Amino acid sequence: MRTPFDRLRDGLLGVWSLGAVVFLFVPIFVIVLFSFNDNQGRFNFTWQGFTLRHWADPFGVEGLQQAFVTSLGLAALTTIIAVILGVCVALALVRHKWRGRGATGGLVFLPLATPEVVLGAALLGWFLTLGLIRGFVTLVIAHVMFTLGYVVITIRARLEGMDVHIEEAAMDLGANQWTTLRKITLPLLAPGIAAASLLCFAISIDDFVVSNFNAGQTVTFPLFVYGAARQGVPPQVNVLATAMLLFVVLLMFVNLGFQRRSARRQNREMETTPALGL
Amino acid sequence: MSSSGEAAAPRSGGWLTLRRRKSLLPLALVIPGLLWLILFYAIPIVSQLWISLQTGNPDDGFAQTWNWAIYGDSISEYSEQMLRSLQYAGTATIACLIIGFPLAYFMAFKAGRWRNLFLLLVILPFFTSLIVRTVAWQTILTDDSWITNALKTVGLLPQDGRLLATSFAVIAGITYNFLPFMVLPLYASLERMDRTLVEAATDLYASRWTAFRKITLPLAGPGIFAGVLLTFIPAIGDYINAQLLGTSQQYMIGNVIQSQYLVVREYPTAAALSFIMMVVVLIIIAAAARLIGTKKLSEAAVA
Amino acid sequence: MPDESLDHFFDRLVSGEPISRRSVLRRMAASGIAVGSASAFLAACGGVEGSSSNKEEVDTSNVNHPKAPIGTLVFSNWPLYIDEKVIPGWEKANDAKMRYLEDYNDNEEFYAKVRQELEQGQGIGRDLVAPTDWMAGRWIDQGYAIPIDKKNVPNAKNLLPSLQNPPFDKNRDFTLPWQSGITGIGYDPTKTGRKLNSINDLFDPAFKGRVSMFSEWRDSAGLVMLGQGVDSSKATKAQCSAAIEKINEENEKGQIRRFTGNDYTKDLAAGNLWACVAWSGDLVQLKADNPNLEFLVPDDGGMSWSDNMLIPQGAKTPYGAETFMNYVYDPVAAGVIAEYVNYFCPVDGVQELVAKKNPELAKNQLIFPDQATLDKLYSYPSLSAADERELTAQMQKVTGA
């Protein structure tokens, strides 16, 4: 019973949504476009012709390669640590009852809700009080601190959506906790862990504010760009930004395909073993 | 589940040890993460209070004097930037809601097989660096850009007007950069909604509008609430947009904190301001948690 | 200095010689004692930064940095401030490597970034930095600079006479200019529609919202004072303060679009700014993006300054830093840099060398100013640290943060 009015409304909704997506992509378009700009002077904001030379030499700017590699390493290390710590915390929060659980849940959430300037500034004072020389190590500490909450929340949501009965069934059948964790919980958590890792990596690699306070001599990609922005961002930065974007698109499609396949498999298994599906 | 069969094999194990292990296990799981947060989040935040009460100057150093007056002083000194932060963050949050709600609604109910694509498109721009994106906005909004000229042609902008270095640019930048924080929780709450309720309502001759007002909106309530909070809180502390797209007339409290810390080195003032901001944020969160519960709030943050 | 042995230090401690908290820390750090716990403890007793301000007089008469393997030399300089072609020449001659960082973006910002390590007596992981005159003065006063062993820098004799005795480092014991420059006005005559000749032209209501100034008061207020007929180098605190107040008035009228650091160049090249306070070398480079741009040394005067090479406390290889100073004071290397960066070259003999290759450049008043131009240049005010802080705070309020 779709009236013409409904159709008009849905149409408008679609147009509005498309408009919103276009809005989101305006700067992206500019970033990609200007990675091909044949700029002559120091700056890269007037279109001066098409070239591939920046793509041929993405690290042709002093310091950019090192900054980029630093950021990748930092994000990778942060992700590994934060995901391990985060999964543990999430398991404790969801699967166990203990005193202080509520308070811990609150503490995990707080860094997410703290403005970044406050996080960065507070850490800076603390590191210097401890006499820790700022550099890669302090960056890892800082990044793990503010990504941990995202991991916990992602994993927790996944854990809560999971059917406890499967784990309970395994335990009832005599599997100990470790085996249950290893054989049941973690495999079921895999998509959540993947999502948390991606999120963690993305947040870490993009962080500017907290890093700015705590990087010391280390230069990450966003810090490099910010420094360069005062003098004109070199087109190579656009090249790397575009390349990262392409990489993420690729990753997402792989992930999507993987999810579809596992969804299909799950459906099949549900049909064949309805008893386990409950 | 293919692995469950294997795990289901009976194992012998002392019941008592298992139970004791059970009581220690959550502790073991939670301690490393908890310690990290206490050492590198809780203590540093509290130490801000300590720093803020010191007096001195950056060249000769600061000493603890329990100078509580700093709080009154810095509030009166920087009230303009504080109010501006509230105003900009508030405006940007409303703008995010206006842009984001229809988008989330469309994705949840109307996009059909395009849903995943739309979701991807909403998230994708945020995999480029925030700084790079904001610098791109600088390029888009320059005084000679086509968009500025177009707005002048249609008369929306006076002939000697400009877009860059105005509050419009700063609010637009904040809106842009924090839009996903609004859209994603909204989408999550809408998508989780039971559509049969709406169908039931319309079956019972409620108009679509009434159904939307009485069913959809209330059910989306926690999502809207979370989205508003998750946009507003980071927006209030933002200084990148004001720095890159605005001028000193648009500076927010975040700009003051960063410059007091990183340029002027008036650490007590900076610490006091950031402590005030933290307290304000905590009050907002506590109020929100009371209203909708911490779990819903934090879930919506990521879901 | 850092090589003082711990034993010796304890001797002094026992014999009751006065030791400041900072020197305790510095020595502990230098001796590799558990810096972490010690400084954490001491910091917990005091404030965010050291509570002692006694400056240690450094005896510069018998500085000795003997020849030693250099390894890697770390140099933090301002962006776009070197032709990197010159680095390999030094690396080969000294069998060393250079890590050249372009992370010196702002004097106060850089200082704030490394200040607490300096305060704790630690190194900052760099062997050379490039502070502007007044900031170099602060490093020296605070005891954060290592004196230069002049035996290692024979080429220092090529330093232009006018730069040999600046007030902040009377005998150039700690610093050598990297490049010098002029703060004047950068503008686009096609936008302003007329030639400018005074700083007061920036306050023409016709340019409302198309004008920028530096957020750093010494340059901005310096020029404004010159426009008011005050000699900036002899200015009192009250005169500086009045100039900042003038800037404040113009800002409140909306005349000034932004207060910037290095980043004004982008707005100027993009056409967002029609006229602004600018640094001489930048304008020469900006012409590649916008050929209309002009640099002006106002008739009422421009500010002149230098960015100085300085060896920070805790540097791994002061000797290496000195060999590099010596290298860039050779007119050949200095000429290569001058041709690239287009700032006012502090090395004597470069003009003649450049004239052979590029006679046009050798006549450029911004790189090789003649006496008439030099007569229009003034240096920064020299005030007490407390006065400077107050003025910085006043300017900070104008610039909004």
Q: Do the beta carbons of residue B185 and residue B227 sit within 8 Å? A: yes
Residue C1 in domain? no
- Cβ atoms within 10 A of the Cβ of C396, count? 22
Residues from chain B contacting residue A23 (CB–CB below 8 Å): 99, 176
Instruction: Decide if pLDDT at A277 tops 50.
Output: no
Confidence (pLDDT) at B226: 84
The number of domains in chain C is: 3
Residue A108 in domain? yes
Q: What is the pLDDT of residues B262-281, one digit of tens each?
A: 777 888 999 999 999 999 98
Q: Which two three-digit tokens encode residue B215?
A: 């069913």
Residue C161 in domain? yes
Residue C59 in domain? no
Q: What is the pLDDT of residues A133-153, one digit of tens each?
A: 788 999 999 999 999 999 998
Which of A12, A17, A33, A207 to mutate: most B Cβ within 10 Å? Answer: A17
pLDDT-derived band at A268, boundaries 50, 70, 90: low
Domain that holds residue A183: 62-233
Q: Which two three-digit tokens encode residue A174?
A: 């005599």
Residue A265 in domain? no
Q: Do the beta carbons of residue A56 and residue A125 sit within 8 Å? A: no
Residue C53 in domain? no
**Residue with the two structure tokens 């012709």:** A49
The number of domains in chain A is: 1
pLDDT-derived band at B75, boundaries 50, 70, 90: very high
Q: What is the CA radius of gyration of chain A?
A: 24
Residue C166 in domain? yes
**What share of chain C in percent tops pLDDT 70?**
85
Q: In the predicted model, what is the mean pLDDT of chain C?
A: 84
pLDDT-derived band at C287, boundaries 50, 70, 90: confident
Q: Where are the beta strands (DSSP E) in C96-157?
A: 97-101, 128-129, 145-146
Q: What is the pLDDT of residues A192-237, one digit of tens each?
A: 898 899 889 989 999 999 999 888 778 899 999 988 887 788 899 9
Q: Give the nearest partner residue to C285 out of A42, A63, A216, using CB atoms.
A: A42
Q: Do the beta carbons of residue C181 and residue C343 sit within 8 Å? A: yes
Confidence (pLDDT) at C54: 41
Q: CB neighbours of B144 closer than 8 A, spacing ≥ 6?
A: C270, C271
- Domain shared by C276 and C392, yes or no: yes
- Domain shared by C212 and C132, yes or no: no
Residue A67 in domain? yes
- Domain shared by C105 and C250, yes or no: no
Q: Which two three-digit tokens encode residue C392?
A: 């910085």
DSSP C238-304: HHHHHHHHHHHHHHHTT-EEEEESTTHHHHHHHTS-SEEEEEHHHHHHHTTT-TT-EEE--TT-EEE
SS3 C53: coil
Does C285 contact A216 at a Cβ distance shorter than 8 Å?
A: no
Distance in Å, alpha carbon of C35 to nearest chain A alpha carbon:
7
Does C112 contact B138 at a Cβ distance shorter than 8 Å?
A: no
Domain that holds residue C32: 6-45
- Domain shared by C174 and C188, yes or no: no
Q: In the predicted model, what is the mean pLDDT of chain B?
A: 84
**Residue with the two structure tokens 């954060």:** C144
Residue A260 in domain? no
Q: Do the beta carbons of residue A166 and residue A276 sit within 8 Å? A: yes
Residue C241 in domain? yes
d(C-alpha A14, C-alpha A12), whole Å: 5
Instruction: Decide if pLDDT at C12 tops 60.
Output: no
CATH topology of domain B78-302: MetI-like fold (1.10.3720)
Q: Which two three-digit tokens encode residue B139?
A: 């390029």
**Of residues C229, C365, C213, the one with CA closest to residue C304:** C365
Residue C60 in domain? no
**What share of chain A in percent tops pLDDT 90?**
42
- For β-strands C377-378 and C302-312, DSSP reports them as parallel
For chain B, which residues make up each domain, given as ranges? 78-302
Q: Do the beta carbons of residue B198 and residue B216 sit within 8 Å? A: yes
CATH number at residue A145: 1.10.3720.10
Q: Do the beta carbons of residue A39 and residue A235 sit within 8 Å? A: yes
Length of chain A, please? 278
Q: Do the beta carbons of residue B81 and residue B252 sit within 8 Å? A: yes
Q: What is the pLDDT of residues A64-104, one digit of tens each?
A: 899 999 999 999 999 999 999 999 999 999 888 888 888 88
d(C-alpha C228, C-alpha B276), whole Å: 42
Does C265 contact A45 at a Cβ distance shorter than 8 Å?
A: no
- Domain shared by C133 and C193, yes or no: no
What ipTM was reported for this prediction? 0.85
Q: Do the beta carbons of residue C210 and residue C196 sit within 8 Å? A: no
Mean pLDDT of B144-149: 87
- In Å, the largest CA–CA distance within chain C is 74
Q: Does B156 touch chain A (CB under 8 A)?
A: no
- Domain shared by C130 and C188, yes or no: no
Residues from chain B contacting residue C271 (CB–CB below 8 Å): 142-144
Q: Which two three-digit tokens encode residue C30?
A: 């230098």
Confidence (pLDDT) at C126: 92
Does C396 contact B263 at a Cβ distance shorter than 8 Å?
A: yes
Residue A221 in domain? yes
pLDDT-derived band at A182, boundaries 50, 70, 90: confident
